[in-house]
Structure 1
Amino acid sequence: MKAVEFHLPQDVDKSFIVFREKGDFFPAPWHYHAHFEFVLVNKSTGKRMVGDHIGYFEEDDLVFMGSLLPHVWVNDPVYLERQAEEQADALVIHFTDDFLGEDFMNIPETDNLRKVLALADRGLALRGDTRARINKLIREMPALNGLQRLANLFLIFDIMSTTSEYDLLASPRFVQNFHYDSSDRFKKITGYIMQNFDRDISLTEIAAVSSMGVTAFCNFFKEQFRVTFVEYLTTVRIGHACKLLSQNDRNVVEVAYECGFNNLANFNRQFKKLKCMTPSDYRKTLAIR
């Protein structure tokens, strides 16, 4: 079974990813990525494979994994056959070791955290009071913004840097011998989007950037990024809109067109879909803080 490289969508106004995986089952294949990752299972049961370790997951299961460690969560048949009473539900956090700058992990205060990050190359299954405390912090994060979300992550780092309540998963031999295929295709695609999101980008155009046909590109993008190209592009645009809305010198119409939306109605609709409020209401929340 060959592991595939995998990316989750990230808002341009966020330094790390908090992603909710909810559906009949967890669809991600056997994969790896450059990010460190927490996976908290809210609902569902099944088997998880981390490197060469196979374990069983259930509600409240929490695993922390390092960069490039292949893994997959496979739901029990009741979920795969869509017969479960509740949908599978998990919260995922992704961050890179330099998401706060290249020097952050080298400051004295992160000495113990660096040791945990090194152990995460094998994957850690958290347990006991450590798991309960971190689970609470992770579950709060989807409703938090800005420094509040970052503060919860720092609290998690603090707990991780002093705990011994974990089990190592993958064997050292597996970590040493695993080889991954890496290409610059992801960087080409995301780089092109970031440079051009303020205008129309056709599927033909972006497919050509990735040296693929349109159909192949659409299948590749959905499989690897978990969303369609249009959905990803919209996320990038709305994230930039949030940044612009924090600057009071722009009105909502200007923000919409500067972010690549051709009409205000579509901008308002997409903004409310992603942020659960209108752009005007979002700006009001900023004024309250």
Structure 2
Amino acid sequence: MKSALQKSPIPQTHAFVAKHLKEPIFDPNWHFHPEYQLFMVLKGSGTRFIGDNVKPFKPGDITFTGPDLPHLWRSDQETAAVNTPNPCEGIVVYFNENLVGNTLLQKEETIRIRQLYKKSLRGLDVTGKTGKTVHKMLSKLLGLQGFDGVLELLKILNILSQSNELRPLASAGYTNSLREGDTERMNKVYVYVMKRFRQKMAVAELAALTNMTPTSFSRYFRIHANKTFSEFVSEIRIGHACKLLIEKKMNVSQACYASGFQTLSNFNKQFKTITKKTPMAYKQEYQVV
């Protein structure tokens, strides 16, 4: 199992690292690191976990995460088919807070950058026109060398710091209480749930998997995920239903039962609780005219 807290990907001789990822799947392990991270999905889909936030991901998504915020992009099994070369593709940028310089970071001119850093501790979705602009800039950044690359990254941070199109992900009360052993245990839970969320699952199954009693597991999960296990499973199922409604063009009833819900009434209730919309309203919002 890969260590939860990863070794820094930035060499001491560099200010940042930008990589063009082409992989069968994105990193399947729940982990965190001390660097800030910009990540853009170019190809692939699945479920994204950032802190206590769970959402589907798709091409075009851009996220900005701060230090020590646990995260995971778990690719769909069908997307990661063996016979499909590099079904997952993205651009990732790692950098430290001192990219701007500690002295400059304390000046009035960089107050918005400081505010951006603070917001990123919850993780941020980069949306709207800002997302389109940053998409082009991240693609350009890959081809730049030397100080030109640093300047481009600073421009990206400046644009993000002035945007009102950044959406916080983890809840305001979320804190990372994970240790390496906890992360390995949570990885087991995530893998198990992602494979079986369409079926009925009992807390006793997960308790056995993690060598706990059902009561201990329920308490443990709530502490580290900032939600109950049933709420977590509902989020996974609703995220999957969203993809079925839009990508597979299923109707509401089909998406309900294909996502693991036993009744349409419970599906509608959970869908509105999580997305703030009814399934039909969600489907119509993304309907291609």
Aligned ranges for residues 29-178 of structure 1 at < 5 Å? 29-84=29-84, 87-175=87-175, 178=176
Shift, 1:67, TM fit: 0.7
- For 1:103, the aligned partner's letter is T
CA distance in 2 between partners of 1:8 and 1:83 (Å): 32
Q: Which runs of 4 or more aligned residues in structure 1 lie more than 3 Å from their structure 2 counterparts after TM superposition?
A: 83-86
Question: Do the aligned partners of residues 163 and 32 (structure 1) sit closer, same or farther apart at CA in structure 2, a change above 3 Å counting?
Answer: same
- For 1:130, the aligned partner's letter is T
The 8 Å contact of residues 49 and 72 in structure 1, kept in 2 or not, is answered as yes
The equivalent residue for 2:9 is 9
Match of 1:179 among 173, 177, 180: 177
- For 2:53, the aligned partner's letter is H
The 8 Å contact of residues 98 and 104 in structure 1, kept in 2 or not, is answered as no
Shift, 1:24, TM fit: 0.9
Shift, 1:158, TM fit: 1.4
Shift, 1:3, TM fit: 7.8
The 8 Å contact of residues 36 and 64 in structure 1, kept in 2 or not, is answered as yes
SS where residue 38 of structure 1 aligns?
strand
The 8 Å contact of residues 64 and 124 in structure 1, kept in 2 or not, is answered as yes
Q: Deviations over 1:52-102 (max 9, x none)?
A: 100111111000011110000011112333244652111111111113432
Aligned ranges for residues 255-270 of structure 1 at < 5 Å? none
- For 1:60, the aligned partner's letter is G
The 8 Å contact of residues 14 and 146 in structure 1, kept in 2 or not, is answered as no
The 8 Å contact of residues 27 and 72 in structure 2, kept in 1 or not, is answered as no
The 8 Å contact of residues 24 and 85 in structure 2, kept in 1 or not, is answered as no
Higher mean alpha-carbon deviation, 18-27 vs 32-41, is at 18-27
SS where residue 25 of structure 2 aligns?
coil
Shift, 1:113, TM fit: 1.5
Question: TM-score, normalising length from structure 2?
Answer: 0.58
- For 1:152, the aligned partner's letter is E
Question: TM-score, normalising length from structure 1?
Answer: 0.58
CA distance in 1 between partners of 2:172 and 2:55 (Å): 17
SS where residue 151 of structure 1 aligns?
helix
SS where residue 102 of structure 2 aligns?
coil
Shift, 1:147, TM fit: 1.5
SS where residue 143 of structure 1 aligns?
coil
Percent sequence identity over aligned pairs: 25
CA distance in 2 between partners of 1:86 and 1:35 (Å): 26
Shift, 1:20, TM fit: 2.1
Q: Deviations over 1:33-65 (max 9, x none)?
A: 101110101111111000010011111100001
CA distance in 1 between partners of 2:58 and 2:123 (Å): 17
CA distance in 2 between partners of 1:150 and 1:114 (Å): 18
Higher mean alpha-carbon deviation, 6-15 vs 49-58, is at 6-15
- Structure 2: 5+ residue runs without aligned partners? 181-289
- For 2:124, the aligned partner's letter is L
Q: CA RMSD in A?
A: 2.2
CA distance in 1 between partners of 2:5 and 2:160 (Å): 26
- For 2:125, the aligned partner's letter is A
Shift, 1:114, TM fit: 1.0
CA distance in 2 between partners of 1:155 and 1:68 (Å): 24
Shift, 1:180, TM fit: 4.2
Q: Deviations over 1:160-185 (max 9, x none)?
A: 1110102111012222xx22448xxx
CA distance in 2 between partners of 1:109 and 1:28 (Å): 39
